[in-house]
Amino acid sequence: MTATLQGKRALVTGGSRGIGAAIVRRLAQDGADVALTYVSRAEQAEEIAAAARGTGVKSVAIQADSGDIKSLVAAVQRTVSELESLDILVNNAGVALIAPFDEYRLEDFDRTVAVNIRSVFVATQAAVRYMHSGGRIINIGSCNADRMPFQGGSVYAMSKAALVGLVKGLARDLGPRGITVNNIQPGPVDTEMNPAEGDFADGMRKLMAIPRYAQADEIASMVAWLAGPEAAFVTGASLSIDGGFTA
């Protein structure tokens, strides 16, 4: 444990698996108390929280659908109640609903906007009420905000591109309060949702300068850096960690 985040309290949305789970583990290893939200798989979420507690920090798993405003705000409030404050918010929860444009369902459009964009606004607005100078807002976007190389991903790309503008505006809004706001844009990451040996993996690797999928821990490392003291002067940025996908 490096303890660079000792005494900090964090909330990671969608923290029960994949990139989110890796972020929870890394923040805990660095000394932060961590709450995480999940939609289903309560046992899996509790395992992640238990592993975090095994490093000596507080951790709690909270059932909350990021597409549900009341549920999400309640999760922020419970985090503050359980951990006694909130210093770091990682807006990680997201959905990727891919379909041909002519067949794209309006309900899938609305779900994408609700989880990938609206939840970031809602959670951030709720969280900053409890944050002081030194607070960190970190969003998990996507390299698809800058490059969408396959068909069917227009709505997903739109939702991630929206975070770029939101981060720039929020950096101005919250900078005077000493709170930084940044966006991380991963490329292909080896997770359950997008395995490195999946149907599309070979095609993705051909688009990259480093022809491999990232590990979730590599994304978590950038989150930990943005959450820590060395990134205090970084705000309004969208930082790619994509193996050259957008190069």
State pLDDT tens for residues 105-150: 999 999 999 999 999 999 999 999 999 999 999 999 999 999 999 9
- Record the pTM: 0.96
What is residue 193's predicted lDDT score, i.e. its pLDDT? 81
Find the angle CA(112)-CA(154)-CA(148) to the nearest 5 degrees.
120
Query: Cα dist. 53→8, 29, 201, 232 in Å?
Result: 14, 10, 34, 27
For residue 40, what are the contacts with CB-CB under 8 A and spacing of at least 6?
A: none
What is residue 22's predicted lDDT score, i.e. its pLDDT? 98
Rg (CA), the chain: 17
Share of residues in the chain with pLDDT > 70 (%): 99
For residue 166, what are the contacts with CB-CB under 8 A and spacing of at least 6?
A: 117, 120, 121, 139
pLDDT digits (tens, 9 = 90+) for 51-109: 999 999 999 999 999 999 999 999 999 999 999 999 999 999 999 999 999 999 999 99
Checking if the pLDDT of 189 tops 70, the result is yes
**Which residues are part of the catalytic machinery?**
156
Checking if the pLDDT of 2 tops 80, the result is no
Q: How confident is the model at residue 192 (pLDDT cuts 50, 70, 90)?
A: confident
What is residue 200's predicted lDDT score, i.e. its pLDDT? 81
Return the biggest CA–CA distance within the chain: 51
Domains of the chain: 9-241 (3.40.50.720)
What is residue 199's predicted lDDT score, i.e. its pLDDT? 81
pLDDT digits (tens, 9 = 90+) for 19-52: 999 999 999 999 999 999 999 999 999 999 999 9
- For the stretch 162-171, contacts whose Cβ atoms lie closer than 8 Å and that sit 24 or more positions apart, written own/partner, are 162/116, 162/117, 163/116, 163/117, 163/120, 163/139, 163/238, 164/238, 166/117, 166/120, 166/121, 166/139, 167/139, 167/236, 167/237, 167/238, 168/236, 170/124, 170/137, 170/236, 171/235, 171/236
What is residue 1's predicted lDDT score, i.e. its pLDDT? 52
In a 13 Å sphere around the CA of 90, the CA atoms on its Cβ side amount to: 34
DSSP 112-133: HHIIIIIHHHHHHHHHTTT--T
Checking if the pLDDT of 201 tops 80, the result is yes
β partners of residue 88: 10, 136
pLDDT digits (tens, 9 = 90+) for 145-177: 999 999 999 999 999 999 999 999 999 999 999
- Pair 225, 26: CB distance under 8 Å: no
What is residue 227's predicted lDDT score, i.e. its pLDDT? 98
